[in-house]
Structures are given as structure tokens and as C-alpha cells.
Structure 1
Amino acid sequence: MLRTVNRVFLTLAGLVLAGVGGVVLALAADLPSRLGVGLPADWSWQGPDSAVLSRADRLHWRGESWWWPVVIGTLAVLLLLALWWLLAQLRRRRLGTVDVDTGDGQSAGLRAGAVEDVLTAEAEALPGVERARFTLVARRAGPGARVGLLIAPQARPRDVVETLRDRTLENARVSAGADDLPAEIRLRATRHSADRVS
């Protein structure tokens, strides 16, 4: 969800900034008068020599009782949203420890990095996988995994993913005692440079 919020927020911010920047550049270059486009008469900024806001515009709402509460409230909401977004970026999504079932009805807490190393080694032993990288992540519903695989050129991606799911991810799920272990798998093929034959 955070990734979607980031994309939507950055897209909207980019569109607003691009639009405002385009209007400012057009007015600063006096494009409307050069192109014969008339601006609304109540616009205070008519060209490069005029102010963006006239004195009357700047002082227009100061006498209203609702003006300052609305300004302060809006700025406070924007500040809280910005802080929430910043904290969401900084929040650690990687797991610190993983509870592993010991087989006797008990569980042991293992460092997530050690579990990731074991899963990485197991994935790299699979046919068609040249390099792997496991990252265990925290989710609300339980642990999840992000897997990056570098596969050999002759490997079939579907077979690699199915083998990874049936062996490595299943072993990890059973060891963690989880009902399921959602995984995001990213595949990349190895690129070999052609050998020069003389």
C-alpha cells in the first residue's frame, strides 16, 4: 500500500508543480500577450512586470474571522500528512527475528539475517538459479518474503518459480509455522557476452 501511496502522491505533486511552473514560465515570458491571448481582468499577474498578488489580494481576507483558523488548520493538516509520509518511509519493514518451529511444540527466535542466508543458499542450489537474494519483511498479516533471482539463460522462468515455491518457500513457511508466506519474486536473466572466435 505504501508504494501505491508514494506513486500517487509523487504523481500528483509532479503534475501540480509542472502545471504551476508552466504557467509561471508562460507569464514571465509574456507569452499570453505575444500570442494574443487575453487573461481574465481580475488576475493581478498580467505579465513579467506585475506582482503575483496585488496588495488588495494579500490583505483581502485578513479582516475575516475564519481566515486565520483555516490557514493554520490547513498548514497543520499538511504538516501532519508530511510527517506521516516521512515516518512511513523510515519505518523498518525488514524482520528482526523469526520464530522457527523446533518440532517439539516450542519455537526458537532466530535472527532474520541468518534465516535469509539459509534461504538464499537453498534457492541458489535450485536448478537454473545462478544467484539469489532473500529478504524477510514484516506485514500486518504475518511475515512475507522478497526474492530476487538471477537465472541462467537456458532456464525456464516458470519452472524456476514453481521449484522455488514448492521447495524453498514451502520449507520457510513450515519452519516459521505460518499459514502462508506471501512472496514477491523478481527474476533477471544472466547476460553473457559473446566470446570472440579468431
Structure 2
Amino acid sequence: MLGTVNRVLTGLAGLLLLALGGSVLAAGLGAPLPSWWLYHGRHDVLLSTARRTQWRDTGWWWPAVLAALAVTVLLALWWLTAQLRRGRLTAVRVDTGDGEGALLRGRALETVLASDAAHLEGVAHAQAVLNGTRTAPRVRIRLRLEPDVAPAQALDELTSRALAHARESAALEKLPAEVRLTPVGRPAVRTRAACPRPQAP
């Protein structure tokens, strides 16, 4: 969805800039412009004093300007926030054996991984976020542990069970993970784990 919005907005912005730049170039070269265009000759300005002030005495002018600016700012903030969140992987390519593959939704894999991790012994809460690329995904996991659980034990179970299940379900060769363990009442511990595909004997 975000990629489509980006392409549409980029295309519209490009067309607008192309039209304005082309018209300025055409006017500078003396080419005739339509009568309804903003300016008509090389010595004309884009916004004359008359155009800039003709609506100032109208009651709806300033509210309309402020509303348009507010909407523009909100849309720009939404777009910027969406760009900052694009590090999240939306799909993972699954090898189906036919040379083409299929796409597995990233949210689905995150949900399964977080659910498996949350069911591990001593884990109070789990959260998983995929990043990387479709063919080489990585995962960030946050585990909130019960007070009596050793972080090493939780990491070992996460690697051998939840991460292994996620890797197998997506038919991945490996699934590198960055794990943040937060025991209740203690500082967070960050570590890295890898879940490679087991080698055949």
C-alpha cells in the first residue's frame, strides 16, 4: 500500500514540476501559452500583486488558506512517519520448489513468531518485528521474562523452538535475530542469535 502511495505521489509531483518547468521554458523561448495559464510571456510573473491580493477581503479566503496548509502539513507528517516505519518487512519470499516462489506476509510470520515465543516457559510477553529483505529476512525480538527465568535459558529455547519453527515455516536457510531480553525488575539485555537450517547428516 505504501509503495503504491509513494509511486502515485512521486508521479503527480513529477508531472506538476514538469508542467511548471516546461511552461516557464516555453514562455522564456517565446512560445504561445493557453489563455487560461498563470502567465503569458517572458516578462510576466507567476503571481502578480493583483492575483495575490484579489481574495484578501473575502471572508472565506484566510480560513481556506489555513485549512489547506493544515491538511498539507498533516499529510506531510503522515508520509514522513510512514517512511520512517518502512524498515519493517512486509513480505518474505518462500521457496516453493518451482523456481518462482511465493510471498508470505511479514505480519503473519511476526504474529506466529511472537505467539510461539510468548508460549515459552517463563516468557511474560513477546514482540517480533521483521526487517531485511524478502530473500534474507532478519527479526528483532523483545522478550519480557519472569523474575525466576535465566536469560540464557530463555534465549536457548527461543532459538531452538520459536525461531526454528519460523525458519522452517518460511523455508529459509537462516533467520538471524536480534533479541532483547527484559527480566522483570532488571535492565534489558540485548544479544544476537542465529537460526540456520540444520545440516543433513
Q: State the TM-score, normalizing by the size of structure 1.
A: 0.48
